Structure 1
Amino acid sequence: MSILDAATSTAGAATTSQAARRRNYMKINGKCYTRIDCLGRGGSGKVYRVAADNGHMFALKRVSIENADENTVKGYKGEIDLLKRLTKVERVITLFDYEMNDEKKVLSLLMEMGELDLYTLLKKRCSPENSSESAKFDPVFVRYWWKEMLECLAAVHAYDIVHSDLKPANFVLVQGRLKLIDFGIANAIQTEETVNVHREAQVGTPNYMSPESLIDSNAAGSGGRGNPSAAKVDEAGQAQ
């Protein structure tokens, strides 16, 4: 029995016509899931909380690829390949199923659902009602979550993968432990050839990138216009 079958057993994710007539259902590879609510959105995609007929909850990421260019679609497929490769890694969110619907131009990914992301956790801790608690530096709090983040990184680095977009929102809390999500711009390093990943374009979230990895758009160039310089990233994800 596959991981997905085990998670949706006891009636499972129904495929009957009765289930298909539900008002709030979403389907992946013929299996129907009840849509509960929307967990988040960004760009051309949304993430929903869905439930199988046995009540098991999942996160369903649905992305429109109607106006996506070749590189964008390649990035989506790369994310799927990496998540499949990391299926048994406990520190990476589990991908249960996926479907690329070329007719409807929609990509769907059925994944493990987390309780909340690290950004939300930190934001709640720093909220006004918790100001007295967070006014003082808490070494236990920092040490615990820093260790959790490092264990996530160590897990993917063991598979020679550089995430490339590390930020609190891409660490999700699942049963008290952090897991990494969003491998859309991650890279698998060919270690037998090199330990460096050379990027011709800037990737990542600027607020969480190291200063030296940011492209200098004001660099001297012909006609007084800046020529962006490429960034080189090593196995640890550090720019060189």
Structure 2
Amino acid sequence: MPKLRKITCQGKQGNLAKEAGISKNPSYVCDNPTKERGSADGIHDAQAQNPLSKNPSSDVKLEPSKREKQEKVTSGKGVSAARKKNYDPDLFFKVNGKLYQRLGKIGSGGSSEVHKVISSDCTIYALKKIKLKGRDYATAYGFCQEIDYLNKLKGKNNIIQLIDYEVTDKNLLREVVNGSTSNKDGRVKDDGYIYMVLEYGEIDLAHMLSQKWKELDSNNQIIDENWLRFYWQQILQAVNTIHEERIVHSDLKPANFLLVKGALKLIDFGIAKAIMSDTTNIQRDSQVGTLSYMSPEAFMCNESDANGNTIKCGRPSDIWSLGCILYQMVYGRTPFSEYKTFWAKFKVITDPNHEITYGPVSNPWLLDLMKKCLAWDRNERWRIPQLLHHPFLVPPVPPQLSSPQEQGCMLLQLVAEACANNQEASKLCCGLQQLLRDPVTPLTFQSLTSRDQQCKLLSEMSKLCFQLRECLTKLERG
């Protein structure tokens, strides 16, 4: 049996396995979409753990498992029916034949977990491992569907990139690709897994906001509008990308925007759903989302409104979630953070008469922007193309102020119109206007190159002004 060695990178100092001790962990959401993670409401992501490797040696010698020993005993020829692994699963993950060395767990939830890993070419990735056994097929189907969406969104710079994946339950993956499921109400019995190798991010927006507001509170400051514009625009562009592909995310929140090499990228499409080509809404079998960011229609999915129409979710549901994120960026908390229980939040969010409280902001356009996203009636919410051109992001250009030269000409024009019956006054006004703005006049001030010429022009203007004053005085006395 050949000995195995840890992945090492030439030309890099130190053991890269020590990189597991990171202080700010990105949030690759694993499970439980209705639980808030990394929000300002007091619920946080799982803490990072140390690398799982406990063997300080770089050499790993594998011993046959108990099951393999039993199979050797029961087999007449003494040959193992199961092929022995040629790597240590405590040190490595294997996805489609490629080894990724564990550097530490980033987060976990339910029967899913995300690890920081390094590939053989010394690239850092995030590896998402999802256990399928015991899950209902609808949930397992959703996880496989996330792979399908990420494949469609490959090459989109503001969407997390899927590097590689493996689904051990090939039948389940085949059903997702074909758009059907044969056992919708059943549960997965086989001991299968989903492995997804993704881009690695430095920190998610939830942690960024937590850090930002700690700094602001300690220095008694307010949010910087330029910082707000910078990231808000990236958030809109990311969601606009999936909306153009007719995908509704349905679980937008700060923890699902990951900072990758300085740019925010949208992650976690576990409960996303495609919009059919002949409609603008989607049909769901249950309420989905994270409480503090769920739209009113997400709570009332498939119920009937006052007009008897079935309430469905669509792009406006994502806009509401974006409004909640913007509110949190501005105030450091979500719009409904004071309501602590599910039923309390449900009551105020689904109440069309409930008015959201907005604190004072220095820019009235910012207040208008939040209200455009958080309109209770989904038909009144702005769409992303409109939001990208909102005056908060694209301030209106003020009308160009006229120069003193133009203002003087306008004043003379008014005087000339008032003295239309007096030829002498009108002639003097026209002479002054010509001196101020006529480009062909040799005495135009911009064309003067000597002090003598400038003095000559000013003398001429003074003479005309004096004559005009005398003329106007006579008119007033007459």
Smaller-chain TM-score bracket:
0.7 to 0.9
- Amino acid corresponding to residue 237 of structure 1 in structure 2: S
CA RMSD of aligned residues (A): 2.5
Contact 1:201 1:230 in 2 (8 A): no
Larger radius of gyration: 2
Q: What is residue 136 of structure 1 aligned with on the other side?
A: 222
SS where residue 101 of structure 2 aligns?
Answer: strand
Q: What is residue 296 of structure 2 aligned with on the other side?
A: 211
Q: What is residue 259 of structure 2 aligned with on the other side?
A: 173
Tell me, in whole angstroms, the C-alpha distance in 2 between the residues paired with 1:164 and 1:52: 32
Which stretch shifts more, 141-150 or 56-65?
141-150
Q: Using the TM superposition, give the Cα deviation of residue 210 of structure 1 relative to its aligned residue in structure 2, in angstroms.
A: 2.3
Q: What is residue 160 of structure 2 aligned with on the other side?
A: 93
Tell me, in whole angstroms, the C-alpha distance in 2 between the residues paired with 1:100 and 1:94: 17
Contact 1:202 1:230 in 2 (8 A): no
Identify unmatched segments of 5+ residues in structure 2.
1-9, 11-59, 62-85, 170-189, 319-377, 380-478
Match of 1:41 among 98, 101, 108: 108
Match of 2:237 among 122, 128, 151: 151
Deviations 1:42-88 (A, max 9, x none): 12111000001221001000011111111011101111110111111
Contact 1:157 1:235 in 2 (8 A): yes
Match of 1:185 among 271, 277, 282: 271
Q: What is residue 248 of structure 2 aligned with on the other side?
A: 162
Contact 2:93 2:100 in 1 (8 A): yes
The higher relative CO (CA closer than 8 Å, separation ≥ 6) is in 1
Q: What is residue 75 of structure 1 aligned with on the other side?
A: 142
- Amino acid corresponding to residue 25 of structure 1 in structure 2: F
Contact 2:113 2:129 in 1 (8 A): yes
Q: Using the TM superposition, give the Cα deviation of residue 185 of structure 1 relative to its aligned residue in structure 2, in angstroms.
A: 0.9
Tell me, in whole angstroms, the C-alpha distance in 2 between the residues paired with 1:159 and 1:167: 20
Q: Taking structure 1 as reference, are residues 213 and 88 closer, same or farther at Cα in structure 2, changes over 3 Å only? A: same
SS where residue 222 of structure 2 aligns?
Answer: coil
Tell me, in whole angstroms, the C-alpha distance in 2 between the residues paired with 1:231 and 1:117: 32
Contact 1:157 1:236 in 2 (8 A): no
Tell me, in whole angstroms, the C-alpha distance in 2 between the residues paired with 1:163 and 1:137: 27
Q: Using the TM superposition, give the Cα deviation of residue 24 of structure 1 relative to its aligned residue in structure 2, in angstroms.
A: 1.1
Mapping 1:106-145, distance limit 5 Å:
106-127=193-214, 130-133=216-219, 135-145=221-231
**Which structure shows the bigger proportion of residues in strand conformation?**
1
Contact 2:216 2:223 in 1 (8 A): no
Q: What is residue 3 of structure 1 aligned with on the other side?
A: none
**Which structure shows the bigger proportion of residues in helix conformation?**
2
Which stretch shifts more, 204-213 or 23-32?
204-213
Deviations 1:124-179 (A, max 9, x none): 1122x552446313211211111111011111111111111000000000111111
Tell me, in whole angstroms, the C-alpha distance in 2 between the residues paired with 1:81 and 1:137: 38
Contact 2:298 2:317 in 1 (8 A): no
User: Runs of at least 4 residues of structure 1 off by over 6 A?
Assistant: none
Identify unmatched segments of 5+ residues in structure 1.
1-9, 11-16, 220-228
Tell me, in whole angstroms, the C-alpha distance in 1 between the residues paired with 2:245 and 2:229: 25
Tell me, in whole angstroms, the C-alpha distance in 2 between the residues paired with 1:48 and 1:21: 16
Contact 2:202 2:260 in 1 (8 A): yes
Mapping 1:194-233, distance limit 5 Å:
194-215=279-300, 231-233=311-313
Tell me, in whole angstroms, the C-alpha distance in 1 between the residues paired with 2:164 and 2:198: 7
Tell me, in whole angstroms, the C-alpha distance in 1 between the residues paired with 2:284 and 2:146: 17
- Amino acid corresponding to residue 282 of structure 2 in structure 1: V
- Amino acid corresponding to residue 217 of structure 2 in structure 1: S
1:31 aligns with 2:98: yes
Tell me, in whole angstroms, the C-alpha distance in 2 between the residues paired with 1:123 and 1:107: 31
Q: Using the TM superposition, give the Cα deviation of residue 89 of structure 1 relative to its aligned residue in structure 2, in angstroms.
A: 1.1
Return the TM-score normalized by structure 1.
0.80
Tell me, in whole angstroms, the C-alpha distance in 1 between the residues paired with 2:89 and 2:137: 35
- Amino acid corresponding to residue 94 of structure 1 in structure 2: Q
Q: Taking structure 1 as reference, are residues 234 and 130 closer, same or farther at Cα in structure 2, changes over 3 Å only? A: closer
Q: Taking structure 1 as reference, are residues 113 and 134 closer, same or farther at Cα in structure 2, changes over 3 Å only? A: farther
Tell me, in whole angstroms, the C-alpha distance in 2 between the residues paired with 1:113 and 1:95: 10
Tell me, in whole angstroms, the C-alpha distance in 1 between the residues paired with 2:126 and 2:200: 5
Return the TM-score normalized by structure 2.
0.41
Tell me, in whole angstroms, the C-alpha distance in 2 between the residues paired with 1:207 and 1:231: 20
Q: Using the TM superposition, give the Cα deviation of residue 203 of structure 1 relative to its aligned residue in structure 2, in angstroms.
A: 0.9
Identity between Structure 1 and Structure 2 (%): 38
Count of matched residue positions in the alignment of Structure 1 and Structure 2: 212
Q: Using the TM superposition, give the Cα deviation of residue 236 of structure 1 relative to its aligned residue in structure 2, in angstroms.
A: 3.8
